[in-house]
Structure 1
């Protein structure tokens, strides 16, 4: 599933979760919320908001790359010549996701791509 659609799922799940928790708070089968209607609506809204925050956190972690396809990808297209050096460092942000590199190095040049965490791909002539 593409990343934009994952965030659509986050928004939808958060909204549905809020509505279910708010409705449950209004129904109040255990008698935990206040008897006065205005206070009950406030308490049910707070309960729904808290549940929506928990849902958004969990599903947002998945949508942000914490689950599913294994994380973000790191891509580099580079060409160097002469004595130039091109370096790209993912800083660990790419996690275990896909790493790809299309590079061409001429003369004494170097192209380096690092996923972070010590994994490096280098190309030199």
Structure 2
């Protein structure tokens, strides 16, 4: 749903809730409501304003969202030939344990297309690639 349509829905919901709240407060005959007609209108208007404000707060938050997904979209295309080596990574590429934080945001859509010929090699990773390293991959020096 587009952002402008969400705003129309949000404003319409707030206006409708005001109208229904006003009608409900005017048509209700509780003993605690004031008896004078002008005072009943004041109470009904206040009730309707609170109801519309509550609906408006929720719907304006919803309408203000950008609507895009929070995850990444990764598109990787490569053509390799002869002795070439291609490495494409859509997220982070770092040796584990080197103090660099990995990007943990989800990859929502991955599109990969590779063409290789001859002795070419292609590596495509849509998310994170952590190469060996850290404590497990290190050798002790004598």
Instruction: Report TM bin, short chain.
Output: 0.5 to 0.7
Normalising by structure 2, what TM-score?
A: 0.48
Cα RMSD for the two superposed structures:
3.2
Larger radius of gyration: 2
4+ aligned runs moved over 6 Å, structure 1 = none
Q: Following TM superposition, by how much is the alpha carbon of 1:30 offset from its aligned partner in structure 2, in angstroms? A: 2.6
Larger RCO (CA within 8 A; separation ≥ 6): 2
Per the alignment, residue 70 of structure 2 pairs with: 97
Q: Separation in 1 of the partners of 2:16 and 2:59? A: 13
5+ long unaligned stretches in structure 2: 76-102, 106-126, 128-142
* Maintained 8 Å contact 2:3/2:67: no
Aligned length: 87
When normalised by structure 1's length, the TM-score is: 0.54
| 1:3 is aligned to 2:3 | yes
**Contact kept in structure 2, 1:3 and 1:63, CA below 8 Å:** yes
- Matches of 1:97 and 1:63, distance apart in 2: 16
